[in-house]
């Protein structure tokens, strides 16, 4: 009977040991499809203010492509000058009373992670190991790796992009050691 109890105990703990490399991410900092913590694409701006409060947010104009581009910066760490998240504001397609919604989220805070531990500060190699990368291109903010599976674009920091990459767009030419500096969720 003692052996049976021990076997059952080990059987129940086995998934914990097998998955030891994957960090546990709390809901507050979880990155998932169309979500960063409690901010979700399509949520009303009023709901965002309810979640985070006005004291930790700031309404700004990102002035993207020379156009008025309203957004809300969310400061979760009051010691930092840079926001943890930026929620861009768009109009609801339904034209309902909740007309202003979150249309895109930018993540700058390394506390935010996917279930597999990917986030700001991870490397392209980590990302390749855990998720499918559909393409790497030049875009807003620099070199971007896209994962359609996650519905996220990862902004990469790479000073010297290999010349051959410009001609071939071969994703393997971008080194695994390249760091993720921000994430677009859209």
Question: DSSP letter string over 76-98?
Answer: S-TT-SS-SEEEEEEE-TT--S-
Helix (H, G, I), strand (E, B) or coil at 35: strand
Last residue of a domain, one of 51, 76, 110: 110
Last residue of a domain, one of 80, 110, 140: 110
Do 32 and 104 lie in a common domain?
yes
Q: Which residue has tokens 């914990």?
A: 16
- pLDDT of res. 171: 96
Q: Does residue 6 sit within a domain?
A: no
Last residue of a domain, one of 110, 135, 164: 110
**Per-residue pLDDT tens digits for 144-176:** 999 999 999 999 999 899 999 999 999 999 999
**Per-residue pLDDT tens digits for 79-113:** 778 999 999 999 888 766 568 999 999 999 999 99
Q: Does residue 74 sit within a domain?
A: yes
- pLDDT of res. 141: 73
Q: Does residue 16 sit within a domain?
A: no
Note the maximum CA span of the chain: 73
Do 124 and 57 lie in a common domain?
no
Q: Does residue 144 sit within a domain?
A: yes
Q: Does residue 10 sit within a domain?
A: no
What value does the mean pLDDT take over residues 3-17? 47
- pLDDT of res. 99: 82
Domain count, the chain: 2
Do 98 and 129 lie in a common domain?
no
Task: Give the confidence band of 3 by pLDDT, cuts at 50, 70, 90.
Answer: low
The answer to which of 31-35, 36-40, 43-47, 96-100 has the lowest mean pLDDT is 96-100
Residue-range definition of the domain harbouring residue 175: 114-186
The mean predicted confidence, pLDDT, of the chain is 87
* Whether pTM exceeds 0.85: no
Task: Give the confidence band of 7 by pLDDT, cuts at 50, 70, 90.
Answer: very low
- pLDDT of res. 77: 81
Q: Does residue 35 sit within a domain?
A: yes
- pLDDT of res. 100: 92
Q: Does residue 139 sit within a domain?
A: yes
Do 37 and 97 lie in a common domain?
yes
Q: Which helix (H) or strand (E) holds 39?
A: strand 39-40
φ/ψ bin of 95: left (φ > 0), alpha (ψ from -120 to 50), beta (otherwise): left
User: In the predicted model, is pLDDT for residue 21 greater than 90?
Assistant: no
**Distance (Å, whole) CA 106 – CA 112:** 11
């Amino acid at each position: 009977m003692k052996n049976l109890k021990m076997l059952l105990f080990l059987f129940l703990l086995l998934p914990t040991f097998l998955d030891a490399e994957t960090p546990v991410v709390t809901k507050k900092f979880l990155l998932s499809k169309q979500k960063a913590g409690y901010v979700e694409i399509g949520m009303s701006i009023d709901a965002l203010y309810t979640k985070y409060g006005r004291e930790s947010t700031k309404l700004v104009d990102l002035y993207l492509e020379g156009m008025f581009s309203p957004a809300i910066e969310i400061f979760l760490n009051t010691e930092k000058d840079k926001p943890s998240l930026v929620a861009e504001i768009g109009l609801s397609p339904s034209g309902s009373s909740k007309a202003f919604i979150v249309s895109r989220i930018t993540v700058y805070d390394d506390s935010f992670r996917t279930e597999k531990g990917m986030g700001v500060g991870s490397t392209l190699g980590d990302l390749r190991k855990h998720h499918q990368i559909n393409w790497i291109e030049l875009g807003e903010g620099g070199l971007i790796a896209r994962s359609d599976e996650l519905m996220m674009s990862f902004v990469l920091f790479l000073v010297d992009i290999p010349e051959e990459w410009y001609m071939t767009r071969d994703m393997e030419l971008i080194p695994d050691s390249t760091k993720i500096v921000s994430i677009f969720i859209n």
